[in-house]
């Protein structure tokens, strides 16, 4: 993670393949395990009453939250704890690929077990879309699908692997995206398999 490599771009998403070394991935994983001890993963309910297949928790000033009343950012985990600080191992990725003069206020941690997926959606619960969303993939490969700025139309997909970093900004910031499936057991990083996705976001 020294010189910033040239990203591949797909529909204005900047995709840094192989951005994180194995050591960096392990260091981040250690920090994520510490976070999850304080603020365990939980399975959010969508406003439509269906549980999401992804389990989540957060670090930072705000955590992303979904329940019957809708999607929101909250200052505490369902167990009442404040979210832990975003670790430096994760912040330094933002500092390299993101804006220097604004720090993220949320690191959403998504865990995908074998059959988890995430439907096409926009990230639009933040106050100001001028700031990017920076996404970090760890563990099993994920088939990431990119659509358009409104629902429908053609899509393109790319496999995201452990250590890949995606920056969604500019025209990509409000583009629909989702994860169709993971290739369970494709990475050795998580001993029990599965995938962790971290997204760094400016919330306010
Ligand atoms: O898991 C991913 O790669 C994408 C996650 C995502 O889009 C989100 O958390 O909003
Ligand atoms: Mn998203």
Residue 197's SS3 state is strand
- DSSP H or E segment with residue 143: strand 141-146
Tell me the residue length of the chain. Answer: 204
49 CA distance to ligand 1 middle (Å): 20
Q: Which CATH architecture has domain 8-201?
A: Sandwich (2.60)
Q: Residue 2: which pLDDT band, with cuts at 50, 70 and 90?
A: low
Q: Which of 179, 201, 203 to probe ligand 1 with, by most ligand atoms within 8 A of CB?
A: 179
Q: Which of 71, 177, 178, 181 to probe ligand 1 with, by most ligand atoms within 8 A of CB?
A: 177
Task: Enumerate the domain spans of the chain.
Answer: 8-201
Task: Give residue-wise pLDDT tens across range 44-76.
Answer: 998 888 899 999 999 999 999 988 889 999 999
Q: In which order are the strands placed within the sheet that holds 133-139?
A: 8-10, 13-16, 165-168, 133-139, 195-201, 106-112, 55-60
pLDDT value at 37 more than 80: yes
Q: Is 111 in the pocket of ligand 1 (CB under 6 A)?
A: no
Pairwise CA distance, residues 198 & 53, whole Å: 16
């Amino acid at each position: 993670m020294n010189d910033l490599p040239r990203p591949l771009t797909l529909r204005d998403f900047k995709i840094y393949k192989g951005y994180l070394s194995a050591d960096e991935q392990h260091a981040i994983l250690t920090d994520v395990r510490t976070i999850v001890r304080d603020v365990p993963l939980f399975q959010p309910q969508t406003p439509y009453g269906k549980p999401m297949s992804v389990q989540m928790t957060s670090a930072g000033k705000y955590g992303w939250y979904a329940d019957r009343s809708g999607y929101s950012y909250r200052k505490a985990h369902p167990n009442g704890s404040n979210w832990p600080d975003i670790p430096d191992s994760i912040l330094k990725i933002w500092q390299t690929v993101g804006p220097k003069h604004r720090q993220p206020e949320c690191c959403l941690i998504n865990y995908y077990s074998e059959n988890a997926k995430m439907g096409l959606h926009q990230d639009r619960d933040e106050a100001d879309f001028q700031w990017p969303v920076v996404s970090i993939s760890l563990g099993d490969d994920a088939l990431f699908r990119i659509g358009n700025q409104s629902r429908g139309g053609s899509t393109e997909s790319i496999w995201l692997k452990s250590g890949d970093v995606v920056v969604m900004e500019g025209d990509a910031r409000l583009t629909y995206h989702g994860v169709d499936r993971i290739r369970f057991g494709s990475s050795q990083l998580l001993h029990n398999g599965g995938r962790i996705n971290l997204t760094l976001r400016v919330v306010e």
